[in-house]
Amino acid sequence: MAIEVREVSKRFGEFQALSEVSITVADGALTALLGPSGSGKSTLLRIIAGLETPDTGMVLIDGEDVTSSPARSRGVGFVFQHYAPFKHMTVHDNVGFGLSVRKRPKEEIRDRVSELLSLVRLEGLAERYPSQLSGGQQQRMALARALAVQPQVLLLDEPFGALDAQVRAELREWLRRLHDEIHVTTIFVTHDQEEAMEVAEQIVVMNDGRIEQSGSPRALYEAPANEFVMSFIGPVNRLGDAFLRPHDIQLLSEEGGGEEALVERVVHLGFEVRVELKLGDGRELWAQVTRETAQQLEVQEGQILTVRLPAPRVFAQAG
């Protein structure tokens, strides 16, 4: 189901969480709301879910105005950052909760729950309590619980934020595949640009309660609309008003065709090598090169290299 948010604003006391935000999410899309903390992304998600009411504006799901309908009748599945498990219920009862409050017959609930548990690979853990599961398992349980009621829309609030790096990577991959399988319109909130780029088909970048830009990961990276998006998505060098991606900087050992720069520090990060440079006029920047290039150039501290800079990106100063 398509989701549309029209000019939604929300204020908590003195804090303006959202100012006239509008977004459209196509049916079946996998979208990320990306932004730093306090950017309003979670508030926007909670407004779509019906867990917060907007001060002004509208929320439409499948063309229908749901702004004033309660969360329980919106047909959304919501997954919380800290999983929000029902601690006093078994995994089975957690996952079956949505069906059980709808008074479905026991057999139907049992079948549906076991189907979902195998979808999220928690077979055999049905009689455990949440406290007996790992963080990653709890999050998968929460996902199965949300999917049990066959939501039209799946909303995830920093779903992997509380997990350690390795489990995170696994679950991202898994979420993507799950989405390919069930094709439910999905929006997830994250502050991690890598996570957004890796998982989402569409990214909405938020800052200060506003939307900075939205588009495909590639479009955002290659054609950022402004300084904020450019520096939030991927690393940047800032030279005055100009912005450069570190991997666009070419390093040459022979003279000519560029500026001279002093190598101040070399950091080996495996495949990637980070070279910190100082230009003749004192400006500092860093270049990202492959291990191979670094070996060919025999880069070392104190060396003078020729640096070829690409055409920098300059944004009109807003405000």
Using rule CB under 8 A, residue 48 touches another protein: no
Name the residue nearer to another protein (CB basis): 97 or 286: 97
The CB density around residue 84, as the number of other CB atoms within 10 Å, is: 15
Position 82 contacts another protein (CB under 8 A): yes
Report if residue 184 touches another protein, rule: CB under 8 A: no
Residues 253-283 as b/e (b if ≥16 CB within 10 A, e otherwise) read eeeeebeebebeeeeeeeeebbbbbeeeeee
Distances (CA, A) of 314 to 90, 242, 294, 318: 56, 5, 29, 12
Between residues 71 and 119, which has the closer beta carbon with respect to another protein? 71
Q: Rounded to an integer, what distance in angstroms lies between the CA atom of residue 67 and that of residue 22?
A: 14
State residue 63 phi and psi, 5-degree precision. Answer: 80, -5
Query: Could you tell me whether strands 237-239 and 242-244 are parallel, antiparallel, or unpaired per DSSP bridges?
Result: antiparallel
Q: Which stretch binds another protein (CB under 8 A): 146-154, 166-174, 175-183, 300-308?
A: 146-154
Residue 108, number of CB atoms within 10 A of its CB: 11
Please list every residue from 103 through 142 that binds another protein, using CB under 8 A: 131, 142
Rounded to whole angstroms, the Cα distance separating 16 from 8 reads 11
**At closest approach, how far in Å is the CB of 167 from another protein?**
16
Least Å distance, CB 298 to another protein, is: 49
Choose between 113 and 261: whose C-beta lies nearer to another protein.
Answer: 113
Question: Nearer Cβ to another protein, position 93 or 201?
Answer: 93
Span interacting with another protein, options 71-79, 169-177, 229-237, 247-255, rule CB under 8 A: 71-79
Residue 146 touching another protein (CB under 8 A): yes
319 is a contact residue toward another protein (CB under 8 A) = no
Q: Does 224 bind another protein (CB under 8 A)?
A: no
How many other C-beta atoms are found inside a 10 Å radius of the C-beta of residue 49?
18
Judged by the rule CB under 8 A, the positions of this chain that interact with another protein are 49-51, 70-74, 76-78, 80, 82, 84-88, 97-98, 101-102, 131, 142, 145-146, 148-149
